[in-house]
Structure 1
Amino acid sequence: MCGIFGYAGSRVVCSSRDAERALALLRHRGPDATGFVSGPGWGIGACRLAIVDLVAGDQPVRNESGTIHVVLNGEIYNYRELQEELRGHGHRLRSSGDTELLAHLWEEHGKALLSHLRGMFALAVVDERTQKLFLARDRLGKKPLYWMRSHGGLFFASELKALRPFAQSWVVDPPALEAFLTFGFVPEGSCFVRGVEKLPPGHWLELDIPTGEIRSGCYSTFEFSPDPTLSEEDAAQRLVELLAEATALRLRADVPVAVFLSGGLDSASIAALARRLGEEPKLLFVDLGDAGEKHRALATAASLGLPLDVLPGEGAPSPELLPKLAEVFDEPLADPSVVPTYFVAQAASAAVKVVLNGDGGDELLAGYRRFLLAAAAERLPTRWALAAGLAALGLVSGKPWLSRRFREGLRDPTGGYLAWGPVKFTPGEVASFLGREPNLASFHRVLAQAPEDSAVNRLRALELFFFLPGDLLVKMDRATMACSLEARSPFLDQEVVRFLLTVPPKLLLSPFRTKRLLRRATRGLLPTEVRRGPKRGFEPPLRQWLAGPWVGEVQRVLHDPRCSLRGFLRMGPLAKTLSKLAVADPPRHARAVFTLLTLEHWLSRWG
């Protein structure tokens, strides 16, 4: 894993000292080594976290003739197979790492090399023979890649902060602000800083260095194609086979690899498959105070015959954490689970360099409760759908907002996502305190391509291609990389994803239980209490934090006239919205306030 930076252009202005300063801003992503190489009109560099070929794997790398130069952030998991193929074609490799082989694959295939890669990556190639800079990003967007035009050339980096010294201006992009206030994250297709782009997942970009001409394209897409003939037994068997293969690939490393146990089904499945493969990975559990999660993690470890390292987590976070998060997540991210995720990464990084996790399981296998609501609403007549939906919610007296949210979801043209998903402020609320209708083009682009014949698959599409790259993958990348820790996600292997998009929704859900298929697939692998356990997740006690250690910060942000928010939001309509939410929907009120805290600290640090 690395942080990468570079530039190219016939009139580009960037000294080697400037490049070194940019790489220094990325050193947390790769503290083991830093390298930089340049030529007429170009320069590329990387900060390396050494995981494969610890001695000879430094970057940038080049081919035998020294005409092709490569930097890579991420991992190419099938590197051994690709190395064997290249040696068969007469290539001489100086290292056993995964970055060098990219230079040789470029010689063999050009941009078609991307179809040979199985991994998570953002990469850059400079070909001195053709005077081209080539950038590419993995199929799901696990690894970030920002770029912009400035100072006579194109600049790119793994994180936004490394581009700031080269930007001609640094102002908030209005549509990105509108999307952030609605969803709590900045979606793919937009960037919080105007003039900076993100290379989309599954895409490449090519710059002709002498002319400055840019070409770009898509090399990979995922499509839903449910197979009505697929049986539950066959689907479960195939899922285990593919997930085991994905896990085996992600256990490849020249340093110890751990499996992070959260106490839930997804991470437990990965640990069980690693054990079945004959591996004995270190099992890590970070104790954040949930006795149920700890009990299930201990049960999983005992059933696998492996010791569990229980690492102490942080207690209630202090207000000083908020500016730290603004530094780590250099686009604002108002997902409250960033707090425990960051604490977990800090604790785990003291023990290992690489962890496997269960990320992607909820999005692919319909693990959120909103999938049950969508299925109930679709399956039953409207007058019965409310009763079924409330049962799926586990509604109890004293929580009227759950009933209201479900009713709103039945009328929601997005299939319930705006009512049941991670919305902080509704589009109407955002319009009231911005003074304009929010531009949610990134959301509607994904929605327009989502399946129309299944409410469950429509939600899965939004989770996979909107929420996952905009929120979950950003959260995991930045939190772990801030601690020089690499996180690998077998559920997000491209072959696992492709297969699960062929599984009909009826095999994914029972009427009142999520992840039906995974529960079936892990019979014999996991204890019953883990396999049948409730959906778990990093659900922090946000309301307690806002009313406890963060209460002073809440009062400052909402009432201090010197706060930066006032330059963007109309505080009168905002106060009315918050007052209504405090009574009508306390959980969303807490998420909305956290969104405002996140925005204020971003503006204070980066605005």
Structure 2
Amino acid sequence: MCGVVGQVVVSGSTRVEESEIRQMLAMIRHRGPDEFGIYLDQQVGLGNARLSIIDLTGGQQPISNADDSLWILYNGEVFNFLELRSELTQRGHRFKTHSDTEVILHLFEEFGPACLERLNGQFAIAIWDRRRKALFLARDRLGVRPLFYTLVDGLLVFASEVKAILAVPRVTARIRPSALMQLFTFWSVQPPHTIFEGIQELPPGCFLMAESGTVTVQRYWELDFPVAASASRASHAAEAEALDQLRQGLTDAVALRLRADVPVGAYLSGGLDSSIIAALIRQRAGQRLTTFSITFDDPDFDESAYQLLMARHLGTDHQVVRATHADIGRVFPDVIWHTETPVLRTAPAPMFLLSKLVRDNGFKVVLTGEGADEFLAGYDLFREAKVRRFWARQPDSLMRPLLLKRLYRFVSQWDDGAFAFQKAFFKRGLTETDAPDYSHRIRWQTTRRAFRFLNPDALAPDRMGTVPLDLGCISYPAGFTDWSPLAQAQYLEIKTFLSPYLLSSQGDRMGMAHSVEGRFPFLDHRLVELCNRLPDQLKLRGMTEKYLLKTLGQTLLPSEVFTRLKRPFRAPIQKSFFGETSPDYVRDLLSPQAIAAAGLFQPKAVQLLVDKVAAGARLGETDEMALVGMLSTQLLHQRFIQDFQMPPPLSSHDRVKIHRADRP
């Protein structure tokens, strides 16, 4: 794992300065504190901050090929690099390191951009071709590792994090108000856009080529599902075969992700997904495993009983960090510094604390269970859409909406008034089952209630004549309408939520804030493609989510774990920002003066919400999300616009290796 930065002259006579590359690297020191490398020539400057995991002594970047015509920067891991290295050796390639980085470079030398199809991993890659004067950037299929870029004054600037791009003097940081409309709809700004005007994110499954004065982006991988007709019920024999394929695929994905020259641990949430991963690690490793968990003082969020049960079952060395309301409020500004985008949940904060626990225990790598809910249909949203489609066939039925009570069993009180409200809520647009966003429309419309806080003047076309971002920014691939309703819902969840939020704000950014790499066996692209081919009933059978995975869990886990009701991972909001431990920054940033100064929200509307929560009123879910969204936006404005702080650039005291070519 690492952080990458770079500047490439696309047009004009701009010159890349070493001092700027050093400053960019200083901004992402947390991603790779072990050592640094820089490559410079007349047209390009490349920089790497390394977190050494594979080939600890020989894998320093940038790395070149035999004749120094190609240079690579790389953030991530390619887990099948040993097999690829063997194939390349047979083709005549010779290696000077034992790193996966050099394997990628030789693979690119052999196959060009098509090399991406052979990589099994999580990565952001930059390769400079000195002969062609061409830059190649690429990102993994599902967007586990980040990569951002901007074009300014004929210069293409790219980096693993936006803060490194903003360290370049010619780049100006501006929050794009209209991007907040995407945030308050999808829970995140949708790629290729970011919250910052003019700065783009390379979408997952895409590569960029900058050559001969042009910059183009192409897709090399896309999600795909079978047509609905082939998503029929599975026979008993087909189910047994699918279970065996899932077991073998997941076991192999875990084994590949245990490849490292440093110790590997695992997150243990107490739920099905992380517990299965931890169990497979113990089966594979046959040695003591260290697991890490987050617990909460607030019993509404705490799952420590299941975590301890699983840790004892596996006999792991179990490490725990406890998150109080005060802890979440205390670290939230640092969380937003690392997310580099507003968020609508406080869930990244405990993940920030958890990665610190991992690092404090001397670990750099953890395996975790993200992806199972998306690809094996674990979210309530999938069951909700199924219930609503069933209800829509008889919209006046009195019995069918009763399934909502079975769906949301965590609702403590289902009296007549509460049920009538829920029934009316879920009946909105009930019969519009042909809408491509049918599964998500209620969620998105609900989140959009926060639009009432936005400043309409800020959302108006800006002085450059641009218009607010189109909220219909989701691209539906060819064949989407031929997929089953479940497949359509999975596609939307993966595209709008998995990479932009879960793998970023709650994943990569919180881990790398403390130099910890997360690895995700469920996101092995072979396993993803297997899950996408499964019949719907093996993912969502009746009202049982993740049916096939639960069947696998019966062979690995205590019954209390694989039979428990699923609980979404959340963290306290209201008590973290208001109450006895309320941080000073909360009232300061949400004050009418601060809101007016930033210009993104309406001061009076924000003040009404602040007064409401300060008076002790319990906020509903949408108001809590609006509160977090506005507070995190204000923090972002403060840290990145109003008072952007840069650490000193890399100096002679840092371990920096510099390569210079054709440079006076």
Q: TM-score range by the shorter chain?
A: over 0.9
Could you say if the C-alpha distance between residues 290 and 55 of structure 1 is closer, same or farther in structure 2, counting changes exceeding 3 Å?
farther
Could you say if the C-alpha distance between residues 355 and 564 of structure 1 is closer, same or farther in structure 2, counting changes exceeding 3 Å?
farther
Q: Specify the SS of the correspondent of 1:561.
A: helix
Structure 1 residue 121 displacement after superposition: 0.4
Q: Specify the SS of the correspondent of 2:374.
A: helix
Q: 1:81-96 counterparts in 2 under 5 A?
A: 81-96=83-98
Task: Identify the residue that residue 312 of structure 1 maps to in structure 2.
Answer: 321
Structure 1 residue 48 displacement after superposition: 0.4
Structure 1 residue 512 displacement after superposition: 3.5
Partner residue of 2:249 out of 242, 246, 266:
242
Q: Distance in 2 between matches of 1:259 and 1:422?
A: 36
Q: Distance in 2 between matches of 1:279 and 1:402?
A: 49
Task: Identify the residue that residue 401 of structure 2 maps to in structure 1.
Answer: 386
Deviations 1:346-381 (A, max 9, x none): 111212110000011111122121221111112243
TM-score normalised by the chain length of structure 1: 0.92
- Does residue 228 of the first structure (1) align with residue 232 of the second (2)? yes
Task: Identify the residue that residue 588 of structure 1 maps to in structure 2.
Answer: 622
Structure 1 residue 317 displacement after superposition: 3.0
Structure 1 residue 238 displacement after superposition: 1.4
Q: Is the 8 A contact 2:596 2:603 kept in 1?
A: no
Q: Is the 8 A contact 1:336 1:594 kept in 2?
A: yes
Q: Is the 8 A contact 1:266 1:361 kept in 2?
A: yes
Task: Identify the residue that residue 343 of structure 2 maps to in structure 1.
Answer: 333
Q: Distance in 2 between matches of 1:139 and 1:242?
A: 18
Structure 1 residue 136 displacement after superposition: 0.5
**Residue type of the partner of 2:382?**
F
Task: Identify the residue that residue 295 of structure 2 maps to in structure 1.
Answer: 287
Deviations 1:533-566 (A, max 9, x none): 1213432122322432337655444443233565
Task: Identify the residue that residue 110 of structure 2 maps to in structure 1.
Answer: 108
Q: Specify the SS of the correspondent of 1:538.
A: coil
RMSD between aligned residues: 2.8
Task: Identify the residue that residue 414 of structure 2 maps to in structure 1.
Answer: 397
Q: Distance in 2 between matches of 1:480 and 1:442?
A: 32
Deviations 1:453-509 (A, max 9, x none): 543322211111110111001121000001000000001110111111112322222
Deviations 1:84-136 (A, max 9, x none): 11111111111111001122112211111111111000000011122111111
- Does residue 193 of the first structure (1) align with residue 196 of the second (2)? yes
Q: Distance in 2 between matches of 1:164 and 1:517?
A: 46
Structure 1 window deviating more from structure 2 (125-134 vs 501-510): it is 501-510
Could you say if the C-alpha distance between residues 422 and 95 of structure 1 is closer, same or farther in structure 2, counting changes exceeding 3 Å?
farther
Q: Is the 8 A contact 1:285 1:297 kept in 2?
A: yes
Q: Distance in 1 between matches of 2:383 and 2:369?
A: 21
Q: Specify the SS of the correspondent of 1:36.
A: strand
**Residue type of the partner of 1:334?**
L
Q: Is the 8 A contact 1:146 1:158 kept in 2?
A: yes
Q: Specify the SS of the correspondent of 2:430.
A: helix
- Does residue 213 of the first structure (1) align with residue 247 of the second (2)? no
Partner residue of 1:323 out of 333, 345, 352:
333
Q: Is the 8 A contact 1:32 1:47 kept in 2?
A: yes
Task: Identify the residue that residue 634 of structure 2 maps to in structure 1.
Answer: 600
Task: Identify the residue that residue 75 of structure 1 maps to in structure 2.
Answer: 77
Deviations 1:170-200 (A, max 9, x none): 2122332221233332222211111111111
Q: Distance in 2 between matches of 1:514 and 1:407?
A: 22
Structure 1 residue 278 displacement after superposition: 3.9
Partner residue of 2:359 out of 349, 355, 358:
349
**Residue type of the partner of 1:350?**
D
**Residue type of the partner of 2:139?**
R
Q: Distance in 2 between matches of 1:114 and 1:505?
A: 29
Q: Is the 8 A contact 1:13 1:151 kept in 2?
A: no
Could you say if the C-alpha distance between residues 203 and 254 of structure 1 is closer, same or farther in structure 2, counting changes exceeding 3 Å?
same
Structure 1 window deviating more from structure 2 (507-516 vs 239-248): it is 507-516
Number of residues paired by the alignment? 604
Task: Identify the residue that residue 602 of structure 2 maps to in structure 1.
Answer: 570
Q: Distance in 1 between matches of 2:401 and 2:468?
A: 30
Q: Distance in 1 between matches of 2:484 and 2:582?
A: 42
Larger relative CO (CA 8 A, sep 6+): 1 or 2? Answer: 2
Q: 1:85-164 counterparts in 2 under 5 A?
A: 85-164=87-166
Q: Distance in 2 between matches of 1:407 and 1:551?
A: 40
Structure 1 window deviating more from structure 2 (52-61 vs 336-345): it is 336-345
Task: Identify the residue that residue 273 of structure 1 maps to in structure 2.
Answer: 280
Q: Distance in 1 between matches of 2:377 and 2:444?
A: 13
Task: Identify the residue that residue 466 of structure 1 maps to in structure 2.
Answer: 496
Q: Distance in 2 between matches of 1:139 and 1:356?
A: 18
Structure 1 window deviating more from structure 2 (157-166 vs 506-515): it is 506-515
**Residue type of the partner of 1:599?**
T
Q: Specify the SS of the correspondent of 2:100.
A: coil
Q: Distance in 2 between matches of 1:606 and 1:449?
A: 41
Q: Distance in 2 between matches of 1:25 and 1:422?
A: 37
Task: Identify the residue that residue 366 of structure 1 maps to in structure 2.
Answer: 377
Task: Identify the residue that residue 415 of structure 1 maps to in structure 2.
Answer: 438
Task: Identify the residue that residue 28 of structure 1 maps to in structure 2.
Answer: 30
Q: Is the 8 A contact 2:250 2:522 kept in 1?
A: yes
Q: Is the 8 A contact 2:454 2:602 kept in 1?
A: no
- Does residue 502 of the first structure (1) align with residue 525 of the second (2)? no
Q: Distance in 1 between matches of 2:618 and 2:483?
A: 33
Structure 1 residue 442 displacement after superposition: 6.0
**Residue type of the partner of 2:215?**
I
Could you say if the C-alpha distance between residues 324 and 446 of structure 1 is closer, same or farther in structure 2, counting changes exceeding 3 Å?
farther
Give 5+ residue unaligned stretches, structure 2: 461-466, 642-664
Q: Specify the SS of the correspondent of 1:539.
A: coil
Q: Distance in 2 between matches of 1:417 and 1:296?
A: 30
Q: Distance in 1 between matches of 2:271 and 2:320?
A: 17
**Residue type of the partner of 1:538?**
F
Q: Distance in 1 between matches of 2:94 and 2:606?
A: 63
Deviations 1:389-441 (A, max 9, x none): 23311242375664454233636752242424695333864678566697454
Partner residue of 2:306 out of 296, 300, 303:
296
Could you say if the C-alpha distance between residues 417 and 565 of structure 1 is closer, same or farther in structure 2, counting changes exceeding 3 Å?
farther
Could you say if the C-alpha distance between residues 439 and 207 of structure 1 is closer, same or farther in structure 2, counting changes exceeding 3 Å?
closer
Q: Specify the SS of the correspondent of 1:562.
A: helix
Q: Specify the SS of the correspondent of 1:177.
A: helix
Structure 1 window deviating more from structure 2 (451-460 vs 374-383): it is 451-460
Could you say if the C-alpha distance between residues 350 and 389 of structure 1 is closer, same or farther in structure 2, counting changes exceeding 3 Å?
same
Partner residue of 1:493 out of 524, 536, 539:
524
Q: Is the 8 A contact 2:193 2:200 kept in 1?
A: yes
Q: Distance in 2 between matches of 1:350 and 1:422?
A: 42
Percent of aligned pairs with the same residue?
30
Q: 1:2-81 counterparts in 2 under 5 A?
A: 2-9=2-9, 11-81=13-83
TM-score normalised by the chain length of structure 2: 0.85
Q: Is the 8 A contact 2:253 2:521 kept in 1?
A: yes
**Residue type of the partner of 1:219?**
Y
Structure 1 residue 295 displacement after superposition: 2.4
Structure 1 residue 41 displacement after superposition: 0.3
Q: Distance in 2 between matches of 1:368 and 1:602?
A: 30
